[in-house]
Amino acid sequence: MAQASSQLSALELPSVSWRRRHLLGLEELSAEEIRTVLEVASRFAQVPATAPLPELLQGKTVVNLFFEDSTRTRTSFALAVRRLGGEVIDFQASASSLSKGETILDTARTIEAMGVDAVVIRHRTPGAPHLLAQNLQASVINAGDGPHEHPTQALLDMLTILQHRGSLEGLTVALVGDIAHSRTARSNIWGLTRLGAHVILCGPATLVSRRWEALGVEVSYSLDDILPRCDVLNLLRIQFERQQSRPFPSVREYAHLYAMNRQRLEQAKPNVLIMAPGPINRGVEITADVADGSHSVILKQVTNGVAVRMAVLWLCLCVAQQDGQP
Amino acid sequence: MAQASSQLSALELPSVSWRRRHLLGLEELSAEEIRTVLEVASRFAQVPATAPLPELLQGKTVVNLFFEDSTRTRTSFALAVRRLGGEVIDFQASASSLSKGETILDTARTIEAMGVDAVVIRHRTPGAPHLLAQNLQASVINAGDGPHEHPTQALLDMLTILQHRGSLEGLTVALVGDIAHSRTARSNIWGLTRLGAHVILCGPATLVSRRWEALGVEVSYSLDDILPRCDVLNLLRIQFERQQSRPFPSVREYAHLYAMNRQRLEQAKPNVLIMAPGPINRGVEITADVADGSHSVILKQVTNGVAVRMAVLWLCLCVAQQDGQP
Amino acid sequence: MAQASSQLSALELPSVSWRRRHLLGLEELSAEEIRTVLEVASRFAQVPATAPLPELLQGKTVVNLFFEDSTRTRTSFALAVRRLGGEVIDFQASASSLSKGETILDTARTIEAMGVDAVVIRHRTPGAPHLLAQNLQASVINAGDGPHEHPTQALLDMLTILQHRGSLEGLTVALVGDIAHSRTARSNIWGLTRLGAHVILCGPATLVSRRWEALGVEVSYSLDDILPRCDVLNLLRIQFERQQSRPFPSVREYAHLYAMNRQRLEQAKPNVLIMAPGPINRGVEITADVADGSHSVILKQVTNGVAVRMAVLWLCLCVAQQDGQP
């Protein structure tokens, strides 16, 4: 315990200001708020996993309330909670009272009544976390609401870029692939543009619409055209399970036009970063040699995911003034 | 740790006498034993969730052995164990050796052999917990055995009434709805009558039988008739998943006759308590305005559930004299 | 904590030498290495479950990565990790990214990137743990790879024999039943022969092949023939779920020829040990009276399983020199 304390002070956490109890999306965050999360996460990322900080969430209980399967994100949140000394409860929504006619809000209120301090929710309906936030005393963290937002994913993407480039200001970041179904894309657009990056959305016309230009981003249908200008390529998975009709003739056709491979890497900037939110489909959006190559920071993103979630939980549960919540 | 110790002494736990290693049902408990559980639970309910008592179950391991899905009760037990400093293991019965031909008793013995101190069991067969209790050294806690008993649910119902009325003696408590399939009803009947309450069972004739009168309770088929006399209404969910044939013409018909709504609330005592074991079906046994209204103590019941389970675990695992077990 | 420390020293753990980060199978272990695991496990088996050793894996995180259902083995590993003070994460492979096209290696690398120190893997493909071991920095423990190996099961079997006989040298151990599909049989063959036991494989010709004799074991098709010579009978379950065609006319026929029952027990040595890896099928490979009788050490095997897994985790995670890894 003493070790943890001294480590905590060694961390020299910045004296942060944070007033939100909930993290629902990046759209609502100011540039200053995003910078605060990234600064805290960057400190947490320096703490070895084997030497956690068990005092920060001591006595707090966090529930993982996932209505869609997601072992990666759920595990990442669970590890974040445990490393800060909190308790984490997995609420298996599929096996739950919902099949007995209970509303999602009653489920969440019931969990809260058991003495839970934060609800990490994934749900296929956009706005589900917002509904909970309006009705619970507990903190609500959005772990993905349909195609809407996935704020911690975008924050971990941004932290990874920051660690390699020092700043997002003026960088060109391309989000490639299935923009239409991607909450990761939406959250990245809000976050990246707010911190001064230039965002390009790139993919087949069936998955990327010109309407996105209204958000201040560039839209392109040719990866080869934009490739030489990009500092970062974030390769989104084609979410076959969300498609109702085929958005392109074949996987081979998609890979031909949009997969990141060795030939394309030669056309890119020498220090281009290759990112992917995962799970990756080798041979579809990325070839194996690029995924495992020196430009890839895919596993670094995963590592940063835990640090970002530690930061979000600590800020919303411990730093936020209860009265400061909008 | 020191904080927990001083808090523990601040709790001033009464010097209780408790000789049972198992909690199988309320039928077998004396009024004195029920009062003991409620007294301890009421002390635990005063401990903030953020300041648990991690010394009481230190070094003890409890397994949640649920053969029927129940996220609520399982989560409540898990939180109770963790707040007392014990380890909890979730044994997913559906994914287990049972599909390979193992008997329930061999499954339980195997778990016990791994070094488990208590088995919390839910099973669709009445008497399954009793079978385990006869064959294990570990404590056995019944978390619901078919339509038979669900003792911790009844205890949390009683604790909630006690907190609002001070005593159960002389109160009139109506259990409304699906009595036939309800283990909650059975456990409440034993517990409430033993502590001096008058119990009314109310519901359609297909779900409530006159035979219950042999247990010393009143049977009624009209909620409107009994409403003005009731101090507490406990609204049981219609367990559609347990019905083999339709017990009433339609949900609308049921709601018309038995749902607790604003009109009926006006006919009730001014301080009537509205309870429900949950999950609730808004619009069936209760309307939304009543569920969320000032008479409802539904979420308080959930909170008390953790305290009651803490009390039961502590009494059976720590206080009970091993040689005193019947 | 001080209590745990003093207990640890009271354990007087032998000054062991261990250089492997992974435990993939017993085939690759020397007799000396097997003896080391069993010696440490035998010390851990003396520690009461209620007084764990929470400093040995403090700060370490172990993931249970099970691609086949196995509540018993998974729970045993989870308890082993917790008793040594480590964190354990359950990665539900069925609900995971694998259904989204991710390779097993990418799944494992992703988990590792979250800050995991060991991966306990069960997979239906022989060699899956070896693939991970070649590509991860984390320790890899094989919890069963198809019909290939299940080293911790064999180690717990051997520990149980040692506790009752003092040595394996010169003992005759029969593995009875479904040898063809049994990873437990393979691991036992490697381990037992290496420590000087004589191994007999016994079962119907459709499940036991003469080709096994090349491994230095005896093959028999008649339990009654070999029974009087055996010091230990390890009764393997017929894995009906792995059979593609019926390997024998009927269960009754199998039981008639190979079930251990009271009559056969009378033909065996007076101090014969009856073992089974479980889950047992009462009435198939073993009758109820023998399973529950005085020769049976089946539940002792389960208890020893936790101690063996504690030993393996401690050796691979704490004692192994990173540079000593083959």
* Residues B53-66 pLDDT 10s: 878 999 999 999 99
CA–CA distance, B171 with B161 (Å, rounded to integer): 10
Burial degree of B39 (CB within 10 A; 0-12, 13-18, 19+):
middle
pLDDT at A25 over 80: yes
Q: What local confidence, expressed as pLDDT, does residue B246 receive? A: 72
Contacts of B93 (CB under 8 A, 6+ apart): B65, B66, B67, B107, C71
Contacts of A148 (CB under 8 A, 6+ apart): A25, A126, A127, A183, A186
Q: What local confidence, expressed as pLDDT, does residue A97 receive? A: 53
Q: What local confidence, expressed as pLDDT, does residue B324 receive? A: 46
**Which stretches within chain C are classed as H helix?**
2-11, 31-44, 71-83, 104-113, 128-135, 151-165, 183-194, 223-226, 251-258, 262-267, 288-291, 298-314
Sheet holding C139-145, edge to edge: C87-92, C61-66, C118-123, C139-145
Q: What residues in C contact B110, CB-CB < 8 Å?
A: 72, 278-279, 299, 302
Using CB atoms, pick whichever of C279, C282, C302 lies closest to residue B114.
Answer: C302
B111 touches chain C (CB under 8 A): yes
CA–CA distance, A284 with A235 (Å, rounded to integer): 10
Task: Give mean pLDDT, residues B10-17.
Answer: 72
C61 touches chain A (CB under 8 A): yes
CB contact under 8 A, A59 and B52: yes
CA–CA distance, B168 with C72 (Å, rounded to integer): 44
- The topology (CATH level 3) of B2-150+303-324 is Rossmann fold (3.40.50)
Q: Is the domain A152-302 a CATH 3.40.50.1370 member?
A: yes
Q: What local confidence, expressed as pLDDT, does residue B36 receive? A: 97
CA–CA distance, A234 with A172 (Å, rounded to integer): 11
Structure ipTM:
0.89
Chains that touch C (3 or more CB pairs under 8 A): A, B
Q: What local confidence, expressed as pLDDT, does residue B323 receive? A: 44
Nearest to A44 by CA among A152, A168, A159: A159
The CATH number for A2-150+303-321, chosen from 3.40.50.720, 3.30.470.20, 3.40.50.1370, 3.40.50.2000, is 3.40.50.1370
| Between residues C8 and B215, the one the model is more confident about | B215
SS3 call for C214:
helix
CA–CA distance, C25 with C23 (Å, rounded to integer): 6
Most confident range, picked from A76-90, B40-54, B156-170: B156-170
Task: Give mean pLDDT, residues C244-260.
Answer: 84
Q: What local confidence, expressed as pLDDT, does residue B69 receive? A: 77
**DSSP-derived secondary structure for B32-91:** HHHHHHHHHHHHHTTS-TTS--TTTTTT-EEEEEESS--HHHHHHHHHHHHHTT-EEEEE
Provide the CA C48 distance to its chain's centre, in angstroms: 21
Nearest to A39 by CA among A4, A55, A15: A15
* Mean pLDDT for all residues in chain B: 90
Residue with tokens 């035998």: C42
Q: What residues in A contact B184, CB-CB < 8 Å?
A: none
Q: What local confidence, expressed as pLDDT, does residue A4 receive? A: 40
CB contact under 8 A, B100 and C281: yes
Closest-CA residue of chain B to A117? B50
Range A144-182 burial, b when 16+ CB lie within 10 A, else e: bbbbbbbbbbbbbbbbbbbeebeebeebbbbbbbbbbbb
Sheet holding A61-66, edge to edge: A87-92, A61-66, A118-123, A139-145
pLDDT at C188 over 90: yes
Closest-CA residue of chain C to A87? C87
Nearest to A46 by CA among A1, A86, A83: A83
Task: Give mean pLDDT, residues A237-260.
Answer: 81
Nearest to A258 by CA among A277, A279, A235: A235
Q: What residues in A contact B52, CB-CB < 8 Å?
A: 59
Q: Are B129 and B22 in contact (CB under 8 A)?
A: yes
CA–CA distance, A81 with A86 (Å, rounded to integer): 5
Using CB atoms, pick whichever of C89, C100, C109 lies closest to residue A78.
Answer: C89
pLDDT band at B70 (very low <50, low <70, confident <90, very high): confident
Residues above pLDDT 70, as percent of chain A: 90
CATH code: domain C8-149+305-324 is 3.40.50.1370
Using CB atoms, pick whichever of C61, C103, C110 lies closest to residue A72.
Answer: C110
Task: Give mean pLDDT, residues A26-30.
Answer: 98
Q: Are A288 and A315 in contact (CB under 8 A)?
A: no
Q: How many CB atoms lie within 10 A of CB C163?
A: 15
Residues above pLDDT 90, as percent of chain A: 76
CB contact under 8 A, B59 and C71: no
Residues above pLDDT 70, as percent of chain C: 90
Tell whether omega for the bond before B279 is within 30 degrees of 0, i.e. cis.
yes
Nearest to A22 by CA among A227, A271, A326: A326
User: Lowest mean pLDDT: which of A7-11, A57-61, B125-129, C254-258?
Assistant: A7-11
Nearest to A176 by CA among A157, A150, A154, A204: A204
| Between residues B16 and C176, the one the model is more confident about | C176
Q: What local confidence, expressed as pLDDT, does residue A68 receive? A: 86
pLDDT band at A99 (very low <50, low <70, confident <90, very high): low
Q: Tens digit of pLDDT for each residue in B107-142?
A: 999 999 999 999 999 999 999 999 999 999 999 999
* Percent helix, strand and coil across chain C, each to the nearest 5: 45, 15, 40
CA–CA distance, B22 with C48 (Å, rounded to integer): 22
CA–CA distance, B15 with B36 (Å, rounded to integer): 10
CB contact under 8 A, A115 and B279: no
Using CB atoms, pick whichever of C49, C72, C240 lies closest to residue B115.
Answer: C49
Half-sphere exposure at residue B250, Cβ-oriented, CA atoms within 13 angstroms: 3
Q: What length does chain A have?
A: 326
pLDDT at C140 over 70: yes
Contacts of A249 (CB under 8 A, 6+ apart): none
- The partner residues of C91 in beta bridges, in order of sequence, read C65
pLDDT band at B4 (very low <50, low <70, confident <90, very high): very low
Q: What length does chain C have?
A: 326
Greatest extent of chain C over all pairs of C-alpha atoms, in Å: 61
Q: What residues in C contact B103, CB-CB < 8 Å?
A: 282
Q: What local confidence, expressed as pLDDT, does residue A233 receive? A: 98
Contacts of C198 (CB under 8 A, 6+ apart): C170, C171, C172, C173, C218
Q: Are B86 and B62 in contact (CB under 8 A)?
A: yes
Q: What residues in B contact A89, CB-CB < 8 Å?
A: 75, 78-79
Q: What local confidence, expressed as pLDDT, does residue A96 receive? A: 52
Task: Give mean pLDDT, residues B201-228.
Answer: 96
| Between residues A118 and A326, the one the model is more confident about | A118
Q: What local confidence, expressed as pLDDT, does residue C99 receive? A: 60
Q: What local confidence, expressed as pLDDT, does residue B179 receive? A: 93
Residue with tokens 């956009």: A126
* Percent helix, strand and coil across chain B, each to the nearest 5: 45, 15, 40
CA–CA distance, B127 with B22 (Å, rounded to integer): 13
CB contact under 8 A, A110 and B79: no
Task: Give mean pLDDT, residues A46-75.
Answer: 88
pLDDT band at B97 (very low <50, low <70, confident <90, very high): low
State pTM to two decimals: 0.92
**DSSP-derived secondary structure for C272-298:** -EEE--S---BTTTB-HHHHTSTTB-H
Q: Residue ranges of the domains in chain C? A: 8-149+305-324, 151-238+247-302
Q: What local confidence, expressed as pLDDT, does residue C5 receive? A: 42
CB contact under 8 A, B95 and C282: no
| Between residues A273 and B70, the one the model is more confident about | A273
- Per the CATH hierarchy, to which homologous superfamily does domain C151-238+247-302 belong? Aspartate/ornithine carbamoyltransferase (3.40.50.1370)
Using CB atoms, pick whichever of B93, B101, B115 lies closest to residue C279.
Answer: B101
